[in-house]
C-alpha cells in the first residue's frame, strides 16, 4: 500500500514530476516556520513555506528495527526567519520538524515523509546545520528511576515540593562585570553565604537572555565582589546590566536536603542504600550492628 495520497502517487507515476521538499518547523513555544528547497514561496496545508538560498538536506534513510535515523538540514542564516542569536538562546532546541514532499505545481498534493525533532545544531560561516532525529530517539532516553543514594528530583519541582520563592533561598541582581562569558561579577547577593547558590539556576529577567535559564556551577564571595560561574556552552553570554533572579542550589545529598532545606521528608533518593563497600564488607570487631540508619 502506498504511503502517498492517491493524487500524488499518480503524479509520481507519470513521465515527469514537479516535486520539492518542504520543512515545517514548530518550536516548543508554538512558533511555526516553513521552508522549502523550491525557488518560489508555497502554501501547503494552510502553512506558508518560504525559499531560502542554499537550503538543502542530506540523504535520509529509514531503517528497520530500533536504530535512530537522522538527516541533516542545512541553510543560510536569515535575519527575518532564522536568527543566529535565537539558535544560541536555544529557541530551536527540541523543535519538531515535519518533512513534506510537495507537488509544487499543485500544492494540495503533498505527503508527510517524516516527523523528527531537532538534535544538535552547529553554526559555521553564517550558515547552520540542524540534525533531525527520528522519533525512535525517544527510546534512547532515560525513563523511570534509578536506585541511588542521591535525590533524582529537581529542586522545587512537584516531587521535591520545596518552595524556592522564599527570600532566604532566592536573590536578584545585575551583572557588573564578566571576566569570561561564563564567569560573572554580580550585585545583589552580598547577604548570602559563599556557595549558597552553587549548583543553582539563574533566571534572566532582562537583556538578550530574558526568560532563559542558566545553571550555576559555583558561587563565591571574594574581596572584589560576588562571583557566579555559569555552566559553559549554554548559549549567548550575559551582558553588563542584565538582570536576573538566582535560586539556591542543591547537590542532591540527603544531608543537604535535611540541613539546608529542612525537606528530608520529601527526599527522592535512597540514602540508606548500602554501597559497594557494604556488599564486599564483612563483620569486624568493634563495628555496630544494631540495625540503625546508615545515614544520620
Q: How far apart are CA 46 and CA 54, in angstroms?
A: 24
Query: Is 260 part of any domain?
Result: no
The three grid cell numbers given for residue 8, joined into one nine-digit string? 500524488
Is pLDDT at 9 greater than 70 in this prediction?
A: yes
293 lies in some domain = no
121 found inside a domain: yes
In this structure, is residue 219 part of a structural domain? Answer: yes
pLDDT reading at 8 higher than 70: yes
pLDDT (tens digit per residue) in 43-88: 999 889 988 644 555 544 444 444 444 555 555 445 466 676 677 6
Residue 79 lies in a domain: yes
- Torsion of Cα atoms, 205 then 243 then 95 then 120, to 10°: -170
Are 106 and 191 contained in the same domain? no
pTM as predicted: 0.59
Q: What is the CATH number of the domain that holds 185?
A: 2.40.10.190
Range 123-148 average pLDDT: 70
Would you state the pLDDT for residue 107? 93
Residue 202 is part of which domain span?
A: 167-247
Domain boundary among 137, 158, 176: 137
**276 in a structural domain:** no
Domain annotation covers residue 12 = yes
The structural domain count of the chain equals 2
Does the pLDDT of residue 146 top 80, yes or no? no
- Rounded Cα gap, residues 264 and 137, in angstroms: 35
Amino acid at each position: 500500500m502506498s504511503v502517498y495520497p492517491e493524487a500524488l502517487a499518480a503524479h509520481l507515476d507519470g513521465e515527469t514530476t514537479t516535486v520539492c521538499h518542504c520543512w515545517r518547523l514548530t518550536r516548543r513555544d508554538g512558533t511555526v516556520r516553513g521552508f522549502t528547497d523550491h525557488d518560489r514561496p508555497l502554501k501547503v496545508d494552510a502553512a506558508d513555506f518560504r525559499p531560502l538560498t542554499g537550503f538543502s538536506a542530506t540523504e535520509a534513510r529509514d531503517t528497520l528495527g530500533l536504530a535512530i535515523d537522522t538527516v541533516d538540514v542545512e541553510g543560510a542564516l536569515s535575519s527575518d526567519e532564522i536568527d543566529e542569536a535565537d539558535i544560541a538562546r536555544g529557541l530551536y532546541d527540541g523543535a519538531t520538524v515535519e518533512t513534506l514532499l510537495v507537488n509544487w505545481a499543485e500544492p494540495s498534493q503533498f505527503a508527510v515523509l517524516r516527523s523528527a525533532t531537532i538534535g544538535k545544531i552547529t553554526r559555521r560561516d553564517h550558515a547552520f546545520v540542524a540534525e533531525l532525529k527520528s522519533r525512535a530517539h525517544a527510546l534512547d532516553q532515560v525513563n523511570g528511576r534509578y536506585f541511588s543514594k542521591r535525590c533524582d528530583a529537581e529542586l522545587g519541582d512537584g516531587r521535591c515540593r520545596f518552595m524556592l520563592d522564599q527570600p532566604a533561598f532566592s536573590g536578584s541582581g545585575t551583572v557588573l562585570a564578566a571576566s569570561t562569558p561564563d564567569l560573572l561579577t554580580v550585585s545583589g547577593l552580598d547577604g548570602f553565604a559563599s556557595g549558597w547558590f552553587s549548583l543553582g539556576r539563574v533566571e534572566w529577567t532582562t537583556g538578550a537572555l530574558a526568560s532563559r535559564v542558566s545553571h550555576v556551577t559555583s558561587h563565591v564571595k571574594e574581596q572584589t565582589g560576588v562571583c557566579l560561574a555559569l555552566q559553559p556552552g549554554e548559549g549567548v553570554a550575559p551582558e553588563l546590566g542584565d538582570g536576573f533572579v538566582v535560586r539556591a542550589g542543591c547537590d542532591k545529598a540527603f544531608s543537604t536536603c535535611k540541613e539546608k532545606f529542612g525537606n528530608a521528608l520529601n527526599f527522592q533518593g535512597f540514602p540508606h542504600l548500602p554501597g559497594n563497600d557494604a556488599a564486599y564488607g564483612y563483620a569486624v570487631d568493634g563495628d555496630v550492628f544494631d540495625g540503625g540508619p546508615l545515614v544520620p
